[in-house]
Amino acid sequence: MFQAASRAMSQVFERPFRAVFWKMLGFTLAVLVVIWIALQGLIAGFVALPYPWLETALSILTGIGAIFALGFLIAPISALFAGLFQDEIADIVEARDYPGDRPGTALPVSQSIIQTIKFTGVVILGNLFALLLLLVPGVNMVAFFLVNGYLLGREFFEFAAMRFMPPAEARAFRKARGGTVFLGGLIIAGLLAVPILNLVTPIFATIFMMHVYKRLASNAQI
């Protein structure tokens, strides 16, 4: 498990995956810039104050608030775009690490869209927990890791499995190896909890769970 995680982390920064990361980051930053401009335009267009100093103060506060809001949105937006490249990431892993195995099949477009929405929702939930940990004293980090360990492990493992088997079989396979998948999810949740580094979480998780699935599937055939 930890060997697979170490391998996945090292691969994240290799050339083929860096290309995916830069595309994902470019789309993410473009969306964030649009949101920033929209927020500034909204404030300027709908808020009129009688004193210039109040307008200046509001502008500063709005800027600070926007920074926090955009910081929260980085991970979910990057997850949304990363979901669009998941099959590309999986194809690279298979070609580089498992060239002798039967190649997986990319998910149908409709199913891929559903999976992307699910991934994004899971990351949003994870970041909400992270936000609660910052704002609410006494909230136990155990809750963050338990919830996200389960959700992240489930979603990313089932994606890997569904490249090789129908969805129902993928879910059954995941449930049969629930402890291993959950442990993998905890590792992904740990990365998600690290600011800035959490940008690579969707790419890392896809690579990581491809390795985990391959090992579990190989053991099941013995």
- The amino acid present at 142, given as its one-letter code, is V
Residue 95 pLDDT greater than 90, yes or no:
yes
23 vs 15: CA distance, rounded Å: 13
11 vs 93: CA distance, rounded Å: 9
User: 11: closest CA among 83, 69, 94?
Assistant: 94
66: left (phi over 0), alpha (psi -120 to 50) or beta: alpha
The residue-averaged pLDDT of 46-53 equals 58
pTM as predicted: 0.76
* Average pLDDT of the chain, as a whole number: 79
Look at residue 96 in the predicted model and tell me its pLDDT. Answer: 92
The residue-averaged pLDDT of 183-208 equals 85
- Domain assignments of the chain as residue spans, ordered by start: 2-221
Burial class (CB in 10 A: 0-12, 13-18, 19+), 165: middle
Residue 89 has a CB neighbour count (10 Å cut-off) of 23
